Amino acid sequence: MTATGLPADEDARTLHQQVLARLRENILLGRIEPGQALTIRGLAAELGVSAQPVREALRQLVAERALELMDNRRVRIPPMTIERFDDLIAARAVLEAEAAVRAMPYVSEALIARLEAEDAVINEAAAARDYDTWIGANFAFHAMLYGAAGQSAFLPLIESLWLQIGPFLRRAIRTISGHYTVDRHSEALAALRRRDTMALRIAIEADIRDGIAHIGSTLIRSEAMGAGVVRAAHRQAQGERGLVDEVN
């Protein structure tokens, strides 16, 4: 037995689950930047735990592709490329639209009311630029809908995709704002009330493709253009220095 009153192996398992849940939350909400490197020692100090539960949690998150292992044995949030981003968006659109349609027979009026309340939280957080609440409530809205039937094989797959896109999502909505005002959640809620599966599928797909897809692709392309300008300026500066050296 340990100080918690649990058997040692159960206590260790509970601590591992707590560490994993905390890291999942930080990744999902985008508190860790894309490309940011993480160390076991640093995370253990931040969370106030030993290295072992952190190591186990990181191993699991690497397996889920939320993190990637680097050559120096550190891990990091994978940088986002346009190809990876397009893949994640396409996967989300397919899985989430299907999950929503399959959940519809189990959606009650009480659940619709809870979804409406969650959507109001999203709108308030977006207006206040409260990113933790905004992203967290948005995920809760989708998870609440897709989980209406209880256990769903879709939910773990969908959560894995959200973990992979969460850090970039926060960066994107923080950088680019004021461009997209259509409330696809309202369209989804209206479809649920009418029991219109096709309209629900269209609303969920549009929520993903017209929302984060547009924001994200805009940011990636603008950053790529900026990087190209910097590289061109660097090459030009090197060429000018070479010319000066020849003259001298």
CATH of 8-76, one of 1.10.10.10, 1.10.3720.10, 1.10.533.10, 3.40.50.720: 1.10.10.10
Q: Which CATH superfamily is domain 82-227 in?
A: GntR ligand-binding domain-like (1.20.120.530)
Show me where the domains of the chain are located.
8-76, 82-227
Give the pLDDT confidence of 138-155 residue by residue, as tens digits. 999 999 999 998 888 999
Query: Which of 126, 69, 106, 132 is closest to 192 using CA atoms?
Result: 106
The whole-number average pLDDT for the span 170-188 is 76
Give the pLDDT confidence of 66-106 residue by residue, as tens digits. 999 987 778 999 988 889 999 999 999 999 999 999 999 99
Q: pTM for the whole thing?
A: 0.80
With residue 68 as reference, give the H or E element that holds it.
strand 68-69
Query: What is the C-alpha separation between 122 and 112, in angstroms, rounded?
Result: 15
Query: What is the C-alpha separation between 83 and 65, in angstroms, rounded?
Result: 15
Query: What is the C-alpha separation between 58 and 73, in angstroms, rounded?
Result: 11
The whole-number average pLDDT for the span 158-164 is 95
